[in-house]
Structure 1
Amino acid sequence: MELIIHQPAEREAQRAQANREELAERIGRAIHENGTLQPLPGQGLYLSRRSSPLERVHSVVEPSVAVIAQGSKEVLVGESRYRYDSSRYLLTTLELPRVSQILEASPERPYLSLRLELPPTLVSAVMMEAGHASLRDHAEVRAIDVSPLHGDLLDAFVRLVRLLDSPTEAQVLLPLITREIVYRLLMGEQGARLRHLAMEGGYTPHIATAVRRLRQGFDQPLSIELLARELGMSVSSLQHQFKAVTAMSPLQFQKRLRLQEARRLMLSEDLDAASAAYRVGYQDASHFNREYKSLFGVPPMRDVQRLREATGASVG
């Protein structure tokens, strides 16, 4: 009897291992060089490859689900850390300033991953088809977390990357498999988190609006009182719910956006630190320098020089 009970579990484990190996093989075949590739433009699918661990990368990512086929990664949002590998997936349901770092990667076993964007309209449509059109749960749900990548969901991702060999089939089948992935996420342990992405009746739309306002006007002075009034919330409620969802206060959120944009301006537009600081809303250059060093570890221009040298070394 014990043997009969263990056989299905063993078969499931073997199936999962075979799927992970196929996922890594197909992603590795699709992206040969270090970097990020969008193999099917307009489909919201991104593949990444790295042959060595990286320093921390600051970014803002669209709502999406990320799966690692090989290697491991850590993501920091506010003071919260999320580590995942080929046995877990990362779900993000709001555009959050975050810091990510690849932990395991080598030329022999490169870091390989995929990220699939999750448009709220698509999530909402799948919810309605699955009979989850209403949600009365107003519990505070953090907008990012990791969960085990179980068999059926992993299998769907494998079938998704198989389509990379046939762009013609991908035009027809990729939207269907994407809907299946959304459905399985909704039915999984992060279903409540994903449902909040699309719902109109919960708190998330207020926070999503606040996030959008902050992203659009991050270079403008922030008035928490005015933002709360526009959203029909009290200041304390806005502060509490915003941090519950994003792991940051609105002010911390704005600061991250400002500093990340200043870094981009210095790198891509060759601005000096004072000019970049002014462009993103800082009136005091010394204040900007202190906050920049606090986030990135070194003063602005030294940081930019280091990044340029690292980029030059990797290109060479």
Structure 2
Amino acid sequence: MDVIDSVKTTYGFGSGAGFVETFNPAVRFFWSTQPVARAPLIYKAGLVIILQGSKVGYLEDRVFHYDRDQYLALSVPIPFDCATTASEADPLLGLFIDLDLTEVNDLARVLPLETAPTKSFTQIGVEPAPVGTEMHQSIARLLQTLTSRPASLAIGKGLVREITFHALQGPHGLALRSMTQTDSHHDKISRSIARIRENYTEDLTVEDLARDAAMSTSVFHRAFKDITGSSPHQYLKTTRLHRAKGLIVSHGFPVGEAARRVGYDNPAHFSREFKKLFNVSPKAAQMAGYQEIDI
């Protein structure tokens, strides 16, 4: 039995799609045994590592592929569309690694100061990057620890640190490093995103968010769009709709109650916007693509 099969056995891999916590608190294992047509999802900030199969992401006019040789780096939570190639015979398997800001800051300190991003630096918050030889080796060693709780706790943290270090040296490294720069554009937008995700039921305006970030409205709006690919208003709306989908699918909420819980007063307006985003009505939310493996 190879190491991927051992991981599948350890975490109860089954048919369909899903994700589970592993013995390593920073790592989750996900899978899909069926293809998924292009559909919206939201990843948190972190690294998406594909062990088998492939995915294609779509963000505005960008199209990016990630597979065994291309990981996905996210410096902020990003909504985008994704399609998955998978089957029972050839399932998609992958790992999601959470990024610890303290760890990222620690690692960034050992990199040359002259290569650090400026405080006004902005870069789209999601990007594929090649998995180099050393990173492949680190991932392989991490996989070996995931079948053992003691190994995950004793060795796994160091291997996550290794993989994070390799990511900091990759094409998305500047964006990842800018996560730790206090009062940089990236830091301010990241804090605005956190406010939206925590207070999505509120009527947050661009002016409110810009004022909170100590930026002019125009500079804030431009930086937000540069980093997330969407306007603050669109990001808020997308967050509300994803939260509502989770309430309907995972918690069995009636459509009207889910709409109210995420900040919609008009159920008909909610249903129109839900269908526009997910291409199905709220009552058919189970068909909305990634409800089982959203991260």
Same fold (TM over 0.5): yes
Could you state the TM-score of these two structures normalised by the residue count of structure 1? 0.82
1:247 and 1:197 mapped to 2: Cα distance?
Answer: 17
CA contact (8 A) 1:48 1:113 kept: yes
Q: Secondary structure at the match of 1:294?
A: helix
| Residue 110, structure 1, aligned to residue 107, structure 2 | no
2:174 and 2:123 mapped to 1: Cα distance?
Answer: 8
Q: Comparing both structures, which one devotes a greater share of its residues to helix?
A: 1
CA contact (8 A) 1:70 1:85 kept: yes
C-alpha RMSD over aligned residues: 2.6
2:14 and 2:276 mapped to 1: Cα distance?
Answer: 33
| Residue 263, structure 1, aligned to residue 245, structure 2 | yes
Aligned residues: 287
| Residue matched to 1:304 | 285
| Residue 122, structure 1, aligned to residue 103, structure 2 | yes
Q: Structure 1 residues 180 and 229, CA, compared in 2 at 3 Å: closer, same or farther? A: same
Q: Secondary structure at the match of 1:198?
A: coil
In the TM superposition, residue 133 of structure 1 has moved relative to its aligned partner by 9.7
Could you state the TM-score of these two structures normalised by the residue count of structure 2? 0.87
**Identity rate of aligned residues, in percent?**
26
| Residue matched to 2:230 | 248
2:249 and 2:75 mapped to 1: Cα distance?
Answer: 29
In the TM superposition, residue 248 of structure 1 has moved relative to its aligned partner by 0.6
Deviates more, 1:79-88 or 1:67-76: 79-88
- The match for 2:123 among 141, 152, 165 is 141
Deviates more, 1:124-133 or 1:81-90: 124-133
| Residue matched to 1:154 | 136
In the TM superposition, residue 111 of structure 1 has moved relative to its aligned partner by 1.1
Q: Unpaired runs of 5+ in structure 2?
A: none
1:230 and 1:50 mapped to 2: Cα distance?
Answer: 40
CA contact (8 A) 2:31 2:93 kept: yes
In the TM superposition, residue 36 of structure 1 has moved relative to its aligned partner by 1.5
By relative contact order (CA 8 Å, sep 6+), the higher-ranking structure is 2
Q: What are the residue-to-residue correspondences of 1:185-204 with 2, within 5 Å?
A: 185-204=167-186
In the TM superposition, residue 77 of structure 1 has moved relative to its aligned partner by 4.0
CA contact (8 A) 1:79 1:247 kept: no
Aligned structure 1 segments of 4 or more residues deviating by more than 6 angstroms: none
| Residue matched to 1:11 | none
Larger radius of gyration, structure 1 or 2?
Answer: 1
Q: Secondary structure at the match of 1:241?
A: helix
Q: What are the residue-to-residue correspondences of 1:167-182 with 2, within 5 Å?
A: 167-182=149-164
CA contact (8 A) 1:127 1:133 kept: no
1:74 and 1:81 mapped to 2: Cα distance?
Answer: 7
2:216 and 2:255 mapped to 1: Cα distance?
Answer: 37
In the TM superposition, residue 51 of structure 1 has moved relative to its aligned partner by 1.7
